Amino acid sequence: MKIRALVQARMKSERLPGKVLEKIGQKTIVEHIAGRMAKLAGAGVDLCFAIADEDPAVARDSETRLAADRPITLADFLREHSLPFVTGHASNVLKRFIDASEDLSPTDYVIRLTADNPFVDQDQLAILIQRMKEHSADYGYTADLPLGMGAEMIRVAALRSVQLRDTPLTVGGEPGLRDYHREHVTIFLRENPHLYEIYPLRLDDTISEEAAKLRVAGIRMTVDEPADLIVARRVFEHFERRGLPQFGALDVIQLAKNNPEMLHGNEAVKQKPATSADTRK
């Protein structure tokens, strides 16, 4: 069985353009993700960035460790840092994932990550990988984590079955997917649990689901807007000073309990609903 971690990434973010190359500490967001995924190489996980093929070049300063006198694309940066990538459709991320996994067998798995989230909990992801192997589920995800620290795992056969829904059943008929299905990849599986075997991995099954949701309510470890980036940098610097740069969800939950002010500043950021889609051309 092969497992490929696919990171959907683009430079043309609506609210924080170029954010995937913003630095948190001494590393860019994409480097943080690559570093955390490197810990799972022993579990047979290979990494690939699935980037948009229409990303614009942006001028960067010397902090990117690339020449300051020329514009840089995300592909340039990944190539310079020997990080594997494929390019694909800018808004149809589902197709991007299908194309990036075309060499895998139907029984292999894809891990879905996004470049909004530099701090995926790799320990919880390692447990999810093991449980998915044991249960042979179609789709699994980490639950009860702070926003931005989770991950999803999809069997390749299930991923391809979603794409088949995009083909109308009759000539001139409507496709079975909406724009948000194509952009968010796994929403169709979540909306149709009767069609797939789904495995949620809870962070702590000794507490109720309601209590689990309450203790992470308001914690944003994702990066959508400048305020999120400020919080992410503050939290990372806190854990780095304590020798824990690859902190996990439980560390963040404890920090929110003991030092809630560390996570303040991005409360006003609105999380887009799962059924939203980027309508820009």
pLDDT digits (tens, 9 = 90+) for 11-45: 888 888 889 999 999 999 999 999 999 989 877 89
Lowest-confidence segment of 25-29, 165-169, 221-225 by average pLDDT: 165-169
Which homologous superfamily does the CATH classification assign to the domain defined by 3-263? Spore Coat Polysaccharide Biosynthesis Protein SpsA; Chain A (3.90.550.10)
Answer yes or no: is pLDDT of 64 > 50.
no
Lowest-confidence segment of 24-33, 151-160, 169-178, 256-265 by average pLDDT: 169-178
Distance separating alpha carbons of residues 95 and 167, to the nearest angstrom: 13
Answer yes or no: is pLDDT of 60 > 70.
no
User: Between residues 51 and 277, which one has the greater pLDDT?
Assistant: 51
Q: Which amino acid is at 127?
A: I
pLDDT at 118: 98
pLDDT at 281: 47
Answer yes or no: is pLDDT of 127 > 60.
yes
Closest-CA residue to 202 (of 161, 250, 240): 250
188 SS3 class: helix
pLDDT above 90 as % of the chain: 75
pLDDT above 70 as % of the chain: 91
pLDDT, averaged across the chain: 90
Answer yes or no: is pLDDT of 65 > 60.
no
| 233 band by pLDDT with thresholds 50, 70 and 90 | very high
Answer yes or no: is pLDDT of 57 > 70.
no
The token duo for 141 is: 């995800």
Answer yes or no: is pLDDT of 222 > 50.
yes
pLDDT at 61: 53
**DSSP H helical ranges for the chain:** 29-38, 74-80, 93-100, 122-135, 156-164, 179-184, 187-191, 209-216, 226-241, 249-258
pLDDT at 174: 77
The token duo for 50 is: 């699935």
Tell me if 139 sits within 8 A of 152, measured CB to CB.
yes
Closest-CA residue to 46 (of 95, 99, 111, 123): 111
Half-sphere exposure (CA, 13 Å, Cβ side) for 63? 12
Distance separating alpha carbons of residues 50 and 93, to the nearest angstrom: 8
| 67 band by pLDDT with thresholds 50, 70 and 90 | very low
Lowest-confidence segment of 209-218, 239-248, 272-281 by average pLDDT: 272-281
CA dihedral 26, 29, 32, 37 (to 10 degrees): -160
- Other CB atoms within a 10 A radius of the CB of residue 26 amount to 9
Q: Average pLDDT in the 123-137 region?
A: 95
Distance separating alpha carbons of residues 23 and 63, to the nearest angstrom: 8
